[in-house]
Structure 1
Amino acid sequence: MGAPSALRDDTSLISHAVVELARRTHFPVAFGGLEHDGAVHVTTIVGARTRSIEGLVVHESRGLGGRALIERRPRMTLDYRTSRTITHDYDRAILGEGIATLFAVPVLVGGAARGVLYCGSWAQTPIGDAQARPAFDVAGELGTELRVRAEVERRLSAAPTVEGGLGAGAREEIRESYAQLRSVAATVGDADVRRRLEDIEARLAALTGDAPAAAVDSDLHLSRREIDVLACAAVGSTNGEIAASLGLRETTVKSYLASAMSKLDASTRHAAVTRARRAGLLP
C-alpha cells in the first residue's frame, strides 16, 4: 500500500528544498526532513559520500538539529566532533559521513518549527552571510509552501457542500483562499516555488466548476498582477486592503484595476470580476 498523498507531497517539497539548499549555498552535503511526533525524519540527502545519514531521526533538543527545532533558530558548529554546545547522540551518522562544519536551519510555519534543513562540509568552513542567507531563503520558501497548502486544505475540508457540488459558502471559502494564495505567491521571489503555487491556484480555481477550461477566451489575457488585484477585489477587499496585501501602492492598485476592467470591457469592478469568472480566470 502506497504512502498517503499528504506524505508524498511533504517528501516532494523537502526533496526540492534540499536540492535548492545545496545549489544555492554550494555546501557539498545537504539534507533535511519535516517534524513528526517531536522528531525530524530526514528524507532527502544530497551530496553524501556514505550512507550513514540515511534514515536519521533527530529528536527535539538532541544534536544540532534538535536544538534548532526546539529553539526555532539556526544553529551552527564549525567542528562537530569537538563541539560542547550540543549533545552527540548522532555522531555515528554525522561523523560517519565525515562532516566537520554543520549548519541547521529550522523551517517555520506560523511560528512553529515544522522541520530542519542542514548543510555541511567535510572540512571546517566558516559560514558567512553569503552561505547563510540562501539557506534562510530556502527554509522560508518551504515554510511558505507548507503554510499555503495547509490553509487551502483546511478551508476545503471545512467547506460545506450541497447536492452535486459546492454550496455558496464553499465557493466563497475557495475564492477567499485563492485571493490569499495569490497574495502570498506575489511575495515569493523563487520562480520554481512561484510556479508550484500557481499549480495550486489552478487546482483551487477549478474546484468551483464555474467555467471549464474550454470556455476560456484565448484572446483575453490579463497580467499576473491584474489577476492578483481582481482576486482580492472579488472577496470585497478595498483598494487600500489590496495594496497592503500585495505590497503595492494604492494608486498602482487602481491602475491595475482600470487596466483589467478595460480588457474585460467592464464598467465596474464587480462586472470585471463576473466576466473574469466567466472567462475562467478567477474561481
Structure 2
Amino acid sequence: MRRSTEPNRVVPGDAVLDQLALRHSELLVLLDESAAMNAVARRIREVGGFDMSLVGRVEYDGAMVHRSWLGTQSTALHRLLVPEGHGLGGKSLLQRRPVWVRDYLASSAITHEFDELVAREDLRAMLAVPMIYDGEVLGAVYVGVRGKVSFGEQVVSLVEEAACAASATLVSARRAQIQTRVAVQADRRRKAAELHDSVSPVLFRIGAELRSLRAVTGAECVRARVEELERQVQDVTSMLRSTLAELNEQPPDRHLAVSIQEDCEAFEERTGTPARYVPLAVIPDLGPGRNEALLGVVREALVNVEKHAHASAVVVTVSIVGDTLSVAVADDGCGWSEDRADPAPGHLGLSLAAQRMQRLGGGVVMSANDDGGSTVRAWVPCYAGDRNG
C-alpha cells in the first residue's frame, strides 16, 4: 500500500517505483549485513510457515545478539544478548548443530535464563540452527511455533539449507563493506603520499636555509635570504591550500553521495543506531536544486527514524531506473501505520520537503516494509543530459 504526500493525488511512476523497490531488495542484501539478516528472517519463516523467525549474529566474545526478526508480538527477544551455551540458540552455537525443543519452557535439554522473554512471545516449539561459513560460527537462525509440535527431519533440513545460504550472504555483505573501507583508505594514502612528495622537499629546503643563516653576516645578505624563505613558505602554503581544496571538493556526481554518507555517519554517532549508505547507481549531476531537495528528504526521514521508529538499523540507497532517480531511507523499526503514512501534519518537516520535491517534478511516498519497519522514498527526474554532465 502506498499513499501520496498530497491527499487525493495519484502518485506518478508507480511502475518505476515497483522496479526500484525490487532492485533495492535484490541488491541490498549483497551489500549490507542488516538488510541481509532481515531478508534471512523473512526467508526462513516462509520455509515452513512458522509463527516467528529470528536471526542472531555473533558479536561480543562469542555471544550472539538478535538483530532481525519477523512475526514477534513483543520486543522481548529483540536485540537480546545470548552467550554461547545458554538457551536454545546458545546451545546450537556451542554444539554447532541444529537444536530443537517441543516445549521451550518445559524442556530439560536447555538452560532457562530466557524463559520469561519466551513466555511473553507465547512460544513453545522452537528450532535453532547455527550459521557456519568456512568453519566460523557467524550466528544462528531460529524458527518458533506458538504451540507444542515436533520438527521433522525434512523441516530441519530445509532450515539448515536456509542457514547455509544465509551464511554465504552475510559473508558477502561483510566483504563488500571491507572493500568499501579499503577503497577509502587507499584514497587517503594516495593523498598523504602526494602531500609528502610535494611539501616535504620544500620544508627541508626551508630548514636548511634557516640553519645556514647562522653563518651569514651582513644585513643585506640576511634580508635577501629571509625574503627567499618567505617565498618558499608561501609556496608551501599554496600547495597545502590546493590539496585541502581538492580533498574538500567533490566531483558533481559525488556531491549528493558524500552528503548522504556524512549524514548517515552523523546519525549513527548521534543515536548509536547503525546507518549505512548503499549506492546502487552512480549519481549524475542533478544540479543544486534537486540535490538539496533529495538531501532534505533524507535528513527529515532520518530525524523521524530517530524520534519515532525505535529502529536497530537504517539503510539509505540511491537507485536509477529509466529517467528517474530514487533515494530510499529504510528502517527496521516499529513499522508503518495510517498515522505515519502521510507526513502532514505529524511530520511537518517531511511534508515541506515533499512539497519541494513536487515542485521539481518528483515526489515522496512512505510505505511499510514486508519484513517490518518502513521506507521513505523520494524520486526526481534525471535526464540524459544529466548523465552526460
Q: TM-score, normalised by structure 1?
A: 0.51
| Structure 1 letter corresponding to 2:165 | E
Distance in 2 of aligned mates of 1:131 and 1:119: 11
- 1:144 aligned to 168, 182, 205, which one? 168
1:133 offset after TM fit, Å?
Answer: 2.3
Distance in 2 of aligned mates of 1:114 and 1:12: 16
| Structure 1 letter corresponding to 2:35 | S
The match for 1:115 is 139
- 1:27 aligned to 31, 50, 64, which one? 50
The match for 2:155 is 131
1:95 offset after TM fit, Å?
Answer: 1.8
Structure-2 change in CA distance of 1:78 and 1:35 (3 Å)? same
Q: SS state of the match for residue 116, structure 1?
A: strand
Distance in 1 of aligned mates of 2:72 and 2:121: 7
1:29 offset after TM fit, Å?
Answer: 1.1
The match for 1:240 is none
Give yes or no for the alignment of 1:72 onto 2:133: no
Structure-2 change in CA distance of 1:128 and 1:39 (3 Å)? same
Contact (CA 8 Å) 1:25, 1:132: kept in 2 or not? no
1:153 offset after TM fit, Å?
Answer: 5.5
1:155 offset after TM fit, Å?
Answer: 6.5
The match for 1:94 is 118
Distance in 2 of aligned mates of 1:155 and 1:81: 44
1:50 offset after TM fit, Å?
Answer: 3.0
The match for 1:53 is 77
Contact (CA 8 Å) 1:56, 1:93: kept in 2 or not? no
The match for 2:68 is 44
Instruction: Give 1 or 2 for the bigger CA radius of gyration.
Output: 2
Distance in 1 of aligned mates of 2:82 and 2:177: 28
Q: Where is the strand percentage greater, Structure 1 or Structure 2?
A: 2
1:24 offset after TM fit, Å?
Answer: 1.3
Q: SS state of the match for residue 125, structure 1?
A: coil
1:127 offset after TM fit, Å?
Answer: 0.8
The match for 2:241 is none
After superposition, where does 1:116-265 map in structure 2 within 5 Å?
116-151=140-175, 157=182
**Unmatched segments (≥5 aa) in structure 2:** 1-30, 192-277, 282-389
Greater relative CO (CA pairs within 8 A, separation 6+):
2
| Structure 2 letter corresponding to 1:48 | T
Distance in 2 of aligned mates of 1:44 and 1:146: 13
**Count of matched residue pairs:** 162
**Unmatched segments (≥5 aa) in structure 1:** 1-7, 165-199, 204-283
| Structure 2 letter corresponding to 1:136 | E
1:147 offset after TM fit, Å?
Answer: 2.6
Distance in 1 of aligned mates of 2:50 and 2:176: 34
**Superposed CA RMSD:** 3.0
The match for 1:10 is 33
Contact (CA 8 Å) 2:123, 2:147: kept in 1 or not? yes
1:54 offset after TM fit, Å?
Answer: 2.4
Structure-2 change in CA distance of 1:68 and 1:144 (3 Å)? same
